[in-house]
Amino acid sequence: MEAVHPDFIQAPEHRPKPDVTEAEGIPLIDLSPVNSPESDADALARLVAQIGDACKNWGFFQVINHGVPSHVRERIELASKEFFALPKEEKKKVSRNEINLFGYSDFEITKSVRDWKEVFDCTIENPTVIYASDEPDDKELKELTNQWPEYPPELREVCEDYAAEMQKLTYKLLALIALSLGLPKDRLHGFFKNQTSFMRLNYYPPCPAPQLALGLGRHKDAGAMTILAQDDVGGLEVKRKSDGEWIFVKPTPDAYIVNVGDLIQVWSNDTYESVEHRVTVNSQKERFSIPFFINPSHSVWVEPLAELVDEQTPAKYKGYSWGKFYATRKLSNFKKLTTENIQVHHFKL
């Protein structure tokens, strides 16, 4: 067996636990009513109720009949496998760094030594405007652009095509979530003009000691929402709100996994909650996944929505700048932190 680097030995709280169950899994929701002109009001109302229940009780759900063409997903999955199969020196030609935050990185240089994976990141708005630093009083902006590898030559095209389909799905889901909160369907849309959303190609190599490492440690997503495509190997685990058990998310063919992020938790004033999740690795099989991280503009001020706050239900968070929050999180990838990274709970009232 290949020797395991000592940096990948887990602290007890981060090691995969044996008490993982599949149970009935996270909710599986059919989006047909928003994709069919024949759908009636009752069907849409039932769908909105399903979305609301899933966001409130799980923070996660899967969607089928979502409208994303299968060939678009198949093309990006194939291109992703071709890219990660390249020699390491070829992939590192497009390595991300503190200047260019998008591109390739591997588990030897990520901020968390416990993450057993390789990634390729690309932004959706090209260029994407963010704050140049995480200093509170520094208002300087900078533009981030994608860098594309020479091989496979079609990677840029397939990523852009996939991102366009993900954007369509994003706005359908944002509308359903807004309706489930009793808000106009386009209430959240304005936050995503000049968005900082990005997508990631994940590759989890076979791990020689999967009991000692995680593909990705337990965490919550800081943005508004994440839409994940995973292959048939699986590995995603969600911490069930009702009892704290870790639930294995069994792959469902052609489905997307959606989770509420911290921003929707704040906007909803804790009506919906972002929940912990993690990724395990496999000793025999490699695994691929594609998360699409939905983030607002750098200029957005995040606070509970006014319609959801009153004397009986006061705001549970103080406002904060998404741009500064995002800059702090992104730039921390290239720093050795001595304290906890910025989290949404730091703004809890």
Q: Is the dihedral of CA 308, 178, 298, 333 positive or negative?
A: positive
Higher pLDDT, 294 or 97: 294
pTM value is 0.89
Element containing residue 38 per DSSP (H, E): none
C-alpha distances (whole Å) from 111 to each of 26, 97, 277, 281 are: 30, 12, 18, 18
**What does the block give as tokens for 145?**
């652009």
* pLDDT-based confidence at residue 91 (cuts at 50, 70, 90): very high
Tell me if 218 sits within 8 A of 276, measured CB to CB.
yes
Higher pLDDT, 27 or 327: 27
Classify 19-347 by CATH class: mainly beta
Q: Which of 104-118, 212-226, 302-316, 329-343 has the lowest mean pLDDT?
A: 329-343
Look at residue 13 and tell me whether its pLDDT is greater than 50.
no
Higher pLDDT, 19 or 79: 79
Look at residue 7 and tell me whether its pLDDT is greater than 90.
no
Residue spans of the domains in the chain: they are 19-347
Tell me if 189 sits within 8 A of 294, measured CB to CB.
no
Average pLDDT estimate for 297-310: 96
* pLDDT-based confidence at residue 190 (cuts at 50, 70, 90): very high
Percentage of the residues of the chain whose pLDDT score is greater than 90: 66
302: which strand partners? 320
pLDDT of residue 4: 35
Higher pLDDT, 191 or 24: 191
pLDDT of residue 213: 66
d(CA 138, CA 220): 27
Higher pLDDT, 345 or 152: 152
Q: Which of 317, 345, 271, 315 is nearest to 57 (CA)?
A: 271
Higher pLDDT, 336 or 293: 293
Alpha helices (runs of H) in the chain, residue ranges in sequence order: 32-35, 41-57, 70-84, 88-91, 155-180, 262-267, 322-331
Look at residue 3 and tell me whether its pLDDT is greater than 70.
no
* pLDDT-based confidence at residue 10 (cuts at 50, 70, 90): very low
Burial 146-155 (b: 16+ CB within 10 A, else e): bbbbeebeeb
Higher pLDDT, 266 or 4: 266
